[in-house]
Structure 1
Amino acid sequence: MGINKESDVEASLQIGPTSLGMVRIYIAGNGVDLPLDFDPDEADEIAEELASAARAARSMGEKPKPKGGKRTR
């Protein structure tokens, strides 16, 4: 599967600090439990990459409709 291929795979995503001063991205779903730990500087870089990807996606035109109904704020 590539970055640009749609998938019906569902997973849970949690992000938060650990007791050891790391930032954990935790992905769970379909028999997979994947904890990914990053130091705070790496987490900042990831956040910047996410923001950059969001800006690029916005510039590509119409936003895809969220699955499962309307999104509310």
Structure 2
Amino acid sequence: MSNKTTGNPLVSYPVIVLAASGDVDAINAVLKYYEGYIAALSTRQLLDESGNPHLCVDEALRRRLETKLITKILTFNVA
């Protein structure tokens, strides 16, 4: 089964179970899957010294979103 909007395969159930149990590689796999979405959510329009708009990823916001995802992964009940 794949994600209909991106064509990417979904995160498999065994990976989710491993991530919820704290497996670092599995958590990284989930983070990798959501990497683009997190980057899109973290994108902000900033103005340069001339007032021209530029899109940039807010790294602090990106890290906060990743931390929130990791926290939710570790508290996820797979039972």
Higher RCO, 1 vs 2 (CA within 8 Å, ≥6 residues apart): 2
TM-score in same-fold range (> 0.5): no
Could you say which structure has the higher strand fraction? 1
TM-score (norm 2): 0.34
Could you say which structure has the higher helix fraction? 2
TM-score (norm 1): 0.36
Which has the larger Rg?
Answer: 2
